[in-house]
Structure 1
Amino acid sequence: MNDLLRIPCVLMRGGTSKGPFFLSSDLPAEPAERDQILLSIMGSGHPLQIDGIGGGNPVTSKVAIVGPSTVPGADVDYLFAQVWIEPRRVDTSPNCGNMLAAVGPFAIEAGLVPATGTTTLVRIHNVNTSKIIEAEVPTRDGQVCYLGDASIDGVPGSAAPIALSFFDAAGARTGKLLPTGKAIDRIDGIEVTCIDCAMPMMLLEAAALGVSGTEEAAALNADADLLARLETLRLKAGRLMGMGDVSAQVTPKPVLIAPPIHGGDLSARYFMPQQCHPSLATTGAVGIATACITRGTLAERIVGHRELPTTLTLEHPSGRLDVRLALRDGKVAAGLLRTARRLFEGHVFAKPTRAVERAA
C-alpha cells in the first residue's frame, strides 16, 4: 500500500448531503494537485464512481475541507468542493449549506473549536463565497451530541438540531443580489429571475417549460428534453449574470418554481444542475426564500408581498423546508434547521497525482 496516499478522513452526513471531510493540512495546498487527489478519492470518471468513495449522485459526491480561520470574526475556514461524477472536474465556485451543517461538529471533534456548554457556536468562514455563517451545535460534557428529536425531510429518523444562520448572503458570487440589475429577465422567450444569495440561481416558472413543478425528482430527471432546455437557459443566464462561460461550473443552479400544493408558500425543484435535487439544497433554500421577499421577482409573484420577519415554507420532492428571514443590523439574515451525523473515520487512499493524471 506504499504506492497509495493515505489521508485521514471523516465521512459525514450534513443535511441531505454526504461526503468526506478533511483537515486542510492533510491535503495539498496547491489547488490543481488537491483536485487531482479528490478525483481519485471520489472515483470520478465512472457513473458509479466505482473506484472511489463517491456515491454516483451529486449529493454524495461532495467534499468539505476545514481548517483554522484565515479571517477575523470566524473560527474556521470551510472550502466546499463539488466533485463531478463522470466529467473529471472539481468545482469550488459554490457553497453547500447541507455539508455546512456538519462543519461545526467536525471542527469541534477535530480540536479546532472548544465545546462550550450545551450549545457551541461555531462561526464558519466559507472560503468559496467569503461569507460567514453561524452554526449552533448541541454539545454536552465537551462532546458533540448527534442524537436528538429533530427531523428534516429527506433524511430518515431524527437527530440533534443544528441551527444555521446566514448573514448578508446576497452577492455571494457576483457581488449583487440581482446580478443583471433586474428582477425579471427574458431568455429565449422565457421569464427568469437571476438571483445571487448564498447560491447563484436562475428561477423560472415550471409552467413556462410545460411541467407542473411538483413532480418527483426521478420524473424530471427522466425528461431529457427538459434537462437540455434547462442547460441551454442556464448557460445563457450565466453570461447574463456576468459569470462568463459556466459550462464547466455547477452554478448558476436552475430552479423550477410553482404554486404550493401541500400548504407551503412555494414549490421548488432545484437542479444541481443536470439532475433534480432529491430534496432541496440549504443554500438554494436561502436564495429562493430571499427571492420571495424581493420586489418584482417571479417568486414574489407567486408568494405575494411579505414583510419581515417572516418564515417561508418551501415544498420540495422529499417534503418541506422552513426558512426564517429577519433583519439584523439592517441586512437580511436567514435561519434554518439542519442535522448531521458522523458516519466513519479513518483513512482514505488516493493515487498519487502523477498516477491520477496518467489514468485521465
Structure 2
Amino acid sequence: MPDKSIKLIKKLSNANGISGFENEVLDVAKNETAANLNFEQDAMQNLYLYTKNYNSDKPTVMLDSHSDEVGFMVKSINKNGSLKFVTIGNWAPQNIPAHKVRIKNRYGNYVKGIVASTPPHFLSQAEREQLLPVEKLIIDLGSTSYQQTIDNYGIEVGAPIIPDVEFEYDDSNQIMIGKAFDNRLGTAIVIELMLYFANQNLDFNLVGSLSAQEEVGTRGAEVTARKIRPDLALVFEGTPADDNFRDHYDSQSALNKGPQIRHRDISIISNPALVKFAKNSARLNKIPFQEAVRIGGGNDGARILLSNYSVPTAVLGVPVRYAHTHYCISSLPDYKNTIKWAKSILTDLSSAQLKQFNYI
C-alpha cells in the first residue's frame, strides 16, 4: 500500500499550477480536505482552510504554504508556429532548453512541446560555448505555421506553460523525484497538519493558507495574512538543497539531515524567540534539523511578518535538490520529520506562550 503522504505529494506535484494559475492545485487540496475542514477561496486563488471548531474569540496560528510553481507563459507566436515565452518565477537560462513542457490551450487541454535547442551539427565552436538568453529560446510544438498553432493546437498568447514531468518515488531509498517540490511539499504539509488537528481542541485556532503567486513576489501571502490576522505563523517551504554545491561543513540544507529552520534570508529575519522554541521542541522530541542563514531567497513569511502589527514568524523547509528546474529530488524522511516537528511545536504551544514571542 503506497504511503498516504506519497499519494498526496504525487497529486500535488503532478498538478499544473504556475503563478496565477493555481486552480488545479487548489482542487486537489479541496478534494483532500472537504470532509474534515471548511474552506474559502478568494479571487486571487488563495485557499483558506479552517477547522470546524474555529472560534473567533481564540488567538490564531497560521500555517502557510504557497501553492504556485515556477513556469513560463506564451509571449507570442512566430511565423513558423513556434512559441516565444517569458519566465514566470526565477529560472537560470541554462536549465531551460531541451526539456518537455505542456501548454494549456484555449479549450483547457494540454499540448506538449519542447524548448528547442540547436543540434551540435549546426553549431560553431563559439556557439557551443555561448549561453542563450531566454529571449532567444523558443518552444517547438511540431507546428509549421502561425495559423496551425492557432487553429490546430489552440494556443493563444498568455497561455500558461508548465514543465512536463511526472512524479516518481523510489521506495527502497525513500526518494521522491518530480516537479514543483517548491512548494508542493509545503502545500502537502499544511494539508496533513490541518487534517491531523481538525478535531483537536487547541488553545488557539489553526488556519491553513495556500497562498498564490509567491514565485512572482509573495503576493498572495499579503492578502492571506490580512484576512487571517494571525497571532503567530509557521511557513512551510521546499527549500533549495545545497549539499551538492557546498562542502559538508558549510551545507545548511542537505538531504536526509532533517528539515531546515531559516534564521534569515533577504526577505525575513525569523522571530528569534519562536526559533528558539522550535529548536527546543525538536531536541526534546529527537527530531533532526538543520539551521540556515541564507544570502538569497525569499518567502511568504516576509509578508506575514509585517501584517497584523507584526506577527512572530518562523520558516521550516524540506530540502529540495534542483529547485526551480524541471526535476527536483527530495527525501521522504525529511518531509515526515518536518510534519513531526510542526506537530510537536503546535502541541507544545499554549495561548499564554503566544504572547511571549515578542521577547527574545
Q: Is TM > 0.5 for Structure 1 vs Structure 2?
A: no
User: Higher relative contact order at CA 8 Å, sep ≥6: structure 1 or structure 2?
Assistant: 2
Q: TM-score, normalised by structure 1?
A: 0.24
The structure with the larger Rg is 2
